Amino acid sequence: MRGIANPRTPTGGGAKVRAALLTAALLLLAPLHALAVSNPADMLSDPAQEARARELGRDIRCMVCQNQSIEDSEVGLARDLRLIVRERITAGDSDEQVKSFLRARYGDFVLMKPPFAWSTAALWATPVVAVLAGLGLILAMRRRAAVTAAGAPAPLTEDERKRLAALGLPPQDGTRA
């Protein structure tokens, strides 16, 4: 059976297939955010304004992807938001005016770093509450483990049983007086 190549060995035919599959997977997973503004017609003619639009776009959340900025997303809504940002910049709006314009239409969630307000308090407090809850759980588990490791208390001595009986209390170790 020496003539048959084992697909699990590096010299077998399976190595080439695995290499091709790995290459294909890496190409599919390659970041495509560099192509976000892929249509040259969407770009501003002034390089300074385009750079400003891209920088501002990194601070605006794609409402579909939710964890990507509009500059990193290929979704149609992200493209629409990129166009709005570029239109507002061309119209002479400041960065804050552009953000205010988008916040008025989409709410605070459109910003990658939403401002702290009572309406966003839960958004800001959730990580802190989660960390505190985790620490509390860890402490409770450690205390329970320490009590379990200590084992049951030592049985009562005869003197301790007599003192409990004098107080009219039953013994605490399960025995009868």
| Residue 173, in any domain of the structure | no
Residue 59 lies in a domain: yes
Output the pLDDT for position 12: 55
Q: Which pLDDT score, from 0 to 100, does residue 135 have?
A: 96
- Is 135 within a domain? yes
Distance set, CA 31 to CA 34, 41, 62, 159 (Å): 7, 22, 16, 77
pLDDT tens-digit series, residues 134-175: 999 999 999 888 777 777 677 888 998 899 889 888 766 555
The structure tokens 């379990």 sit at 148
Residues 90 and 81: beta-carbon distance below 8 Å: no
Give the domain CATH number at 58: 1.10.8.640
| 37 CB neighbour count, 10 Å cutoff | 22
Residues of the domain holding 47: 33-115
Residues 151, 109 share a domain: no
DSSP alpha helix (H) spans, the chain? 14-29, 47-57, 76-90, 95-106, 121-150, 158-167
Give the global pTM: 0.50
**Is residue 163 in a domain?**
yes
Alpha-carbon distance of 150 to 160, in angstroms, equals: 21
Taking alpha carbons only, the member of 72, 61, 68, 3 closest to residue 32 is: 72
